[in-house]
């Protein structure tokens, strides 16, 4: 195979992506177009490394060719106050065009005005695109709304390392971004055929989660996590010179370094945070080496950190906890522990927040109330749509008297623009899962929708969860989070640490046929933190 020619073709194809994907398409059409280019960015990354290109170039290709829809949504919500200080006129024009383009035509009630808006839309999009080009002519704004540069990526890794894990049929590699540079780690034994064989076992289906009868699947999943550690995570940690701090008894979690994981392609839903030997006493596990978070892309991490720098909450009197409680859901199983979970969350944060509970709410009520909250906790069912990921969402109810599902979809959430959202905790099934195989690198799941809306931290699940474990993880998370804040906004690292500690405590508890839950990873390994 002529790798050099293949690399050239793949990079040229990525250059053309903006021409076939634009604001003029609705999100379903955007998904269809990008599904035609499935695997382009991951293969371009592998070809770059195969032909001797620097690791930074490989990462740039991943950033430009993945998460394209999310990137556009972030651009439409990003903070541009810096532009106002440099050129107030361009700032005003940009905000005007951006507002016009982002306005939902279906929200316009007057039919005549709606027709005017439809006719005007192509021109408005062109005006916005021309305005963006004008902004890029300003000194210091050459990268405005472009994929991040290598220097910007290095800056984004402040506080830890960003690690891509890229698997293709050609090769598998990790790409490590730190404050001092970007390096690559070949993973020859972590290959596509092995990854596919594990994925095909389909171990995280709902039937695998509940009951001791699923011990065989838990044992098999333990083998998967061991393979993930031996062939992927451990070689990465060794190359990045991570060190085991101490014995288990002396472990200080607060001092562990941070990692933001980005799995691509086949590895897009791999639980790197849970990799390792889960037998009692073993330190060969990611959780003893680092605090793990995830991010759809480096640009998404930059977006979350930008949100963190603009949060203005300064007192516990300003902090509001909104709990969305769905003990029953039309056409879905009953969640018998939701009331217990709600009580546990309120007790854990007692005195530090004002609380509002919405029981059996509809989507409109939630979208209204969420504008004012600092923390949103959802205890409900979630659904991942394998055909149209933008319609994945949380299951609510049309009204208390009308037993019809009302879905709070990614599309609806991402159209919201929150000013003070700190944490969204999604205690629901599969909120961090993308089931559309040809769109896994668009990372369109419920968690990323809440990130786009403005929550700088989102806790979600990679697969369905057990009711009893949901209650305990939530209780421990908020108990850890509430310690030492003194009414100030949550320090970003503290959120990731709180989930890390909560899951580790649950992992070491008894509850799996009298044995440690650590031996049943399908009950706890699904919990993930996304964000700053």
132 and 163 share one domain: no
Compute the average pLDDT of residues 524-529.
96
443 and 411 share one domain: yes
365 and 412 share one domain: yes
358 and 497 share one domain: yes
Describe the chain by its helix, strand, coil percentages, rounded to 5.
Answer: 50, 15, 35
> What digits encode the pLDDT tens for the residues 285-312?
999 999 999 999 999 999 999 876 655 4
> What digits encode the pLDDT tens for the residues 92-108?
999 999 988 887 776 77
Residue with the bigger pLDDT between 24 and 529: it is: 529
Query: pTM of the prediction?
Result: 0.92
Q: How many CA atoms lie within 13 A of 127 on its CB side?
A: 16
| CA-wise closest residue to 299 among 408, 143, 142, 475 | 143
369 and 436 share one domain: yes
132 and 154 share one domain: no
Q: How many CA atoms lie within 13 A of 41 on its CB side?
A: 29
Q: Give the residue numbers spanning the domain of 87.
A: 79-136
Secondary structure of residue 23 in the 3-state scheme: coil
Q: Is residue 12 part of a domain?
A: no
Q: Is residue 40 part of a domain?
A: no
401 and 493 share one domain: yes
407 and 527 share one domain: yes
d(CA 45, CA 193): 18
> pLDDT exceeding 70 applies to what percent of the chain?
92
d(CA 52, CA 442): 27
Confidence band, pLDDT 50/70/90 cuts, at residue 90: very high
Q: What is the pLDDT of residue 250?
A: 62
Per-range mean pLDDT, top range of 226-235, 250-259, 507-516: 226-235
Compute the average pLDDT of residues 88-94.
94
Give me the chain's average pLDDT, please: 90
Confidence band, pLDDT 50/70/90 cuts, at residue 315: very low
Confidence band, pLDDT 50/70/90 cuts, at residue 37: very high
201 and 176 share one domain: yes
> What digits encode the pLDDT tens for the residues 77-87?
888 989 999 99
Instruction: Write down the H helix ranges in 137-258.
Output: 150-156, 192-200, 215-228, 234-239
Q: What is the pLDDT of residue 314?
A: 41
CATH code of residue 228: 3.30.420
Compute the average pLDDT of residues 144-158.
95
Is the pLDDT at 213 greater than 70, yes or no? Answer: no
Is the distance from CB of 330 to CB of 404 less than 8 angstroms?
Answer: yes
Q: What is the pLDDT of residue 458?
A: 98
| CA-wise closest residue to 258 among 295, 304, 290, 210 | 290
Q: Is residue 309 part of a domain?
A: no
Phi-psi region of 170 (alpha: psi -120 to 50; beta: other; left: phi over 0): alpha
Residue with the bigger pLDDT between 217 and 250: it is: 217
Helix 467-481 with 338-348: angle, nearest 10 deg: 10
Is the pLDDT at 374 greater than 60, yes or no? Answer: yes
Is the distance from CB of 349 to CB of 321 less than 8 angstroms?
Answer: yes
Is the pLDDT at 179 greater than 80, yes or no? Answer: yes
Q: What is the pLDDT of residue 487?
A: 47
Q: What is the pLDDT of residue 513?
A: 57
Number of domains in the chain: 3
Q: What is the pLDDT of residue 308?
A: 67
Compute the average pLDDT of residues 386-415.
91
- Angstrom CA distances, 484 to 119, 293, 376, stand at 55, 21, 20
d(CA 67, CA 296): 7
Phi and psi, residue 182, nearest 5°: -125, 130
CATH code of residue 324: 3.40.50.1460
445 and 514 share one domain: yes
Q: Is residue 123 part of a domain?
A: yes
Q: Is residue 185 part of a domain?
A: yes
Q: Is residue 207 part of a domain?
A: yes
If you ran DSSP here, which 8-state letter would residue 233 be given?
Answer: I
Q: What is the pLDDT of residue 121?
A: 86
Is the pLDDT at 207 greater than 70, yes or no? Answer: no
524 and 443 share one domain: yes
Q: Of 109, 136, 163, which residue sits at a domain end?
A: 136
89 and 168 share one domain: no
State whether the Cα torsion 75-80-82-88 is positive or negative.
Answer: positive
Helix 40-50 with 3-20: angle, nearest 10 deg: 150
Q: Is residue 57 part of a domain?
A: no
Q: Is residue 129 part of a domain?
A: yes
Q: What is the pLDDT of residue 362?
A: 96
Phi-psi region of 276 (alpha: psi -120 to 50; beta: other; left: phi over 0): left
Residue with the bigger pLDDT between 485 and 471: it is: 471
């Amino acid at each position: 195979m002529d790798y050099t020619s293949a690399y050239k073709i793949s990079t040229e194809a990525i250059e053309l992506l903006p021409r076939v994907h634009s604001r003029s398409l609705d999100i379903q059409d955007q998904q269809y177009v990008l599904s035609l280019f499935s695997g382009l960015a991951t293969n371009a990354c592998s070809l770059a490394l195969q032909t001797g290109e620097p690791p930074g170039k490989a990462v740039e290709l991943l950033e430009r060719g993945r998460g394209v829809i999310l990137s556009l949504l972030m651009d439409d919500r990003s903070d541009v106050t810096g532009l106002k200080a440099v050129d107030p006129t361009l700032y005003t024009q940009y905000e005007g065009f951006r507002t016009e383009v982002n306005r939902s035509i279906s929200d316009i009630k007057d039919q005549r005005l709606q027709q005017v808006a439809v006719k005007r839309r192509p021109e408005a999009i062109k005006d916005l695109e021309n305005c963006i080009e004008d902004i890029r002519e300003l000194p210091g704004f050459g990268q405005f709304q472009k994929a991040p540069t290598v220097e910007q990526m290095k800056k984004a890794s402040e506080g830890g390392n960003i690690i891509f894990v890229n698997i293709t049929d050609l090769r598998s590699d990790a790409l490590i971004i730190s404050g001092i540079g970007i390096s690559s780690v070949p993973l020859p034994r972590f290959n596509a055929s092995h990854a596919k064989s594990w994925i095909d076992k389909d171990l995280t289906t709902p039937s695998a989660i509940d009951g001791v009868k699923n011990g065989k699947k838990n044992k098999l999943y333990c083998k998967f996590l061991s393979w993930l550690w031996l062939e992927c995570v451990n070689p990465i940690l060794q190359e990045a010179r991570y060190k085991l701090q101490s014995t288990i008894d002396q472990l200080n979690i607060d001092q562990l370094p941070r990692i933001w994981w980005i799995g691509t392609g086949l590895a897009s839903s791999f639980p790197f945070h849970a990799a390792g030997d889960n037998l009692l006493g073993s330190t060969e596990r990611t959780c003893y080496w680092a605090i793990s978070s995830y991010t759809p892309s480096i640009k998404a991490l930059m977006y979350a950190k930008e949100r963190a720098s603009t949060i203005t909450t300064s007192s516990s009197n300003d902090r509001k906890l909104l709990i969305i409680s769905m003990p029953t859901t039309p056409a879905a199983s009953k969640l018998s522990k939701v009331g217990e979970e709600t009580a546990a969350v309120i007790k854990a944060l007692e005195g530090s927040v004002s609380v509002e509970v919405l029981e059996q709410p509809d989507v409109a009520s939630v979208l209204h109330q969420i504008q004012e909250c600092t923390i949103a906790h959802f205890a409900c069912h979630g659904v991942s749509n394998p055909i149209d990921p933008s319609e994945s969402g949380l299951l609510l109810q049309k009204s208390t008297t009308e037993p019809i599902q009302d879905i709070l979809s990614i599309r609806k959430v991402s159209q919201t623009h929150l000013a003070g959202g700190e944490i969204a905790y999604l205690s629901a099934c599969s909120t961090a899962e993308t089931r559309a195989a040809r769109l896994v690198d668009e990372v369109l799941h419920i968690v990323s929708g809440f990130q786009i809306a403005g929550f700088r931290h989102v806790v979600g699940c990679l697969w369905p969860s057990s009711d009893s474990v949901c209650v305990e993880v939530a209780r421990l998370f908020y108990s850890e989070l509430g310690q030492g804040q003194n009414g100030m906004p949550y320090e970003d690292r503290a959120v990731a640490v709180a989930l890390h500690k909560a899951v580790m405590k649950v992992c070491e508890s008894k509850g799996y046929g009298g044995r440690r839950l650590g031996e049943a990873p399908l009950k706890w390994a699904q919990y993930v933190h996304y964000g700053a």
